[in-house]
Structure 1
Amino acid sequence: MDRILVATDFSPRSDRALRRAILIARRVGASLTLAHVIDADQPDRLIATDRAEAYSLLGETAQTLRTSDQIDAEPLIEIDDVHSGILSAAERVDADLIVLGPHRRRLADVFIGTTVERVVRRSRRPLLVAAQPPSAPYDKTILALDFDEASRAAGRAALAMRIFEHTDVIVMHAFDAPAERMLRRSLDTVDGADDYVESERRRAVEQLHELVRELELPPTRHRVAAINGTPARSIHECASSEEAHLIVLGTNQRKGFERLLIGSVTEDVIREQHRDVLIVPIDGS
């Protein structure tokens, strides 16, 4: 990992992203780009004023990082809407990772999503949502795997980014037993329903072990759990019980109204804003 882009609006939430990006950059030897997006929908004189003020603040921060932390850092300003500007900045510097802070949900976000969710939907680059104030490198990480290419991509990318170094990794899979409810409705098949769920669990365990070997993950602990309510809830319950501070997962990049209407497990996970989440996208139509 050579270049990390951290997006800031100079709020305390953005400060979480900057502090986390500094910790990662220091550990892997990456450079930082400090990006700020100025709303293009305003008069030119206001844009010019905002640009001068933002560049001054970013420049001071970049200078401090270079002199005090020995981290190569540079400021970058985009004039656009926020999520498009972040993505344009990441393309401009060829960022290996985008780091964002959590964003406050507003009424309009019910329909169009928060800035983070909109960046997730369109990004072709790994994205870290720094939800918690960071104080140290991650000591426990949940790698949530399904048996699809998105999960394989997430595992490979996290390995390449050295995310799993110096952290206890728990690989988890939330399996579904689609016929369980139907079987339990039949009074004479209660034992049969339990046997069915257990067989699905064993099958998921075998598949998970095979996937871990395929990805050549470092020594890990495995956890297979039945889906409780939703996959996102199951992932958060696992992270909570393990006291993990980072969740890693992959996501497919669906397009248009399909993504807008049906959402994704990834967006359900980041909406909770309890833990940092690393999202690794793959192109999928």
Structure 2
Amino acid sequence: MYGRIIVAVDLEHIDQAKALFKRAQSLLDAGGEIRLVHVLEELPGFIAAELPHDVETRRKAEAMVELKALTDPASGLRVVPDLRHGAASGQIMKAAEDSNADLIMIASHKPGLRDYFIGSTAARVVRHATCSVLIQR
């Protein structure tokens, strides 16, 4: 069905990420590619100043290990872990653009109060993506 799929992974909701990845596998064309995208949001300066200098390096390393743990090398699927920095919705759409994706898959979480004012990541992706978007609850 789809040759290039972006799976937006929130490592704080790993069960949803696993379910999305499993569903992506069933939608992928033979020879296609799944790109697991996780976005590390920038730490505010006043917080970063109080943390050890290597905390960002550790965050990146830990996130990459968790992304790679979602994949099964024996499956024969082409799965690319993609770790990005910045605003989640923008980076997910940038990943889709960079890889010429056919589909973005993203989980929907229970919205918090701030989501009612600025919109959730999934809502922003749906409004602005240039390819198909599948939202899983």
- TM-score interval, normalised by the smaller of the two chains: 0.7 to 0.9
Instruction: Report which of the two has the higher share of strand.
Output: 2
Residue of 57, 65, 74 corresponding to 1:56: 65
TM-score by length of 2: 0.82
User: How far 1:59 sits from its partner (Å)?
Assistant: 2.2
**How many residue pairs end up in the alignment?**
126
Q: Which amino acid aligns with 2:65?
A: S
In the TM superposition, what are the counterparts of 1:194-209 in structure 2 within 5 Å?
A: none
Q: Which amino acid aligns with 2:125?
A: V
In the TM superposition, what are the counterparts of 1:176-195 in structure 2 within 5 Å?
A: none
Residue-by-residue CA offset, 1:128-165 (whole Å, 9 max, x unaligned): 1122xxxxxxxxxxxxxxxxxxxxxxxxxxxxxxxxxx
Report the 3-state secondary structure (helix = DSSP H, G, I; strand = E; otherwise coil) of the residue aligned with 2:27. helix
**Which 4+ runs in 1 deviate beyond 6 A?**
none
Which structure's CA Rg is the greater one?
Answer: 1
8 A Cα contact 1:17 1:129, kept in partner: no
User: How far 1:86 sits from its partner (Å)?
Assistant: 0.9
Residue-by-residue CA offset, 1:100-123 (whole Å, 9 max, x unaligned): 111220001111111110111111
In the TM superposition, what are the counterparts of 1:119-198 in structure 2 within 5 Å?
A: 119-131=125-137
* Structure of higher RCO (CA pairs closer than 8 Å, 6+ residues apart): 2
Q: Could you tell me how far apart the structure 2 residues matched to 1:59 and 1:15 are?
A: 12
Q: Which amino acid aligns with 1:93?
A: S
Q: CA separation of 1:104/1:47 partners in 2, compared to 1, >3 Å: closer, same or farther?
A: farther
What is aligned with 2:77? 71
**For structure 1, which runs of at least 5 residues remain unmatched after alignment?**
132-285
1:13 counterpart = 2:12: no
**For structure 2, which runs of at least 5 residues remain unmatched after alignment?**
none
1:39 counterpart = 2:48: no
Residue-by-residue CA offset, 1:231-279 (whole Å, 9 max, x unaligned): xxxxxxxxxxxxxxxxxxxxxxxxxxxxxxxxxxxxxxxxxxxxxxxxx
Report the 3-state secondary structure (helix = DSSP H, G, I; strand = E; otherwise coil) of the residue aligned with 2:113. coil
8 A Cα contact 2:18 2:70, kept in partner: no
Report the 3-state secondary structure (helix = DSSP H, G, I; strand = E; otherwise coil) of the residue aligned with 1:2. strand
Report the 3-state secondary structure (helix = DSSP H, G, I; strand = E; otherwise coil) of the residue aligned with 1:109. helix
Q: Could you tell me how far apart the structure 2 residues matched to 1:8 and 1:100 are?
A: 7
What is aligned with 2:91? 85
Q: Which amino acid aligns with 1:102?
A: S
Q: Could you tell me how far apart the structure 2 residues matched to 1:71 and 1:84 are?
A: 26
In the TM superposition, what are the counterparts of 1:204-219 in structure 2 within 5 Å?
A: none
Aligned identity (percent) is 28
Q: CA separation of 1:123/1:73 partners in 2, compared to 1, >3 Å: closer, same or farther?
A: same
Q: Could you tell me how far apart the structure 1 residues matched to 2:89 and 2:54 are?
A: 23
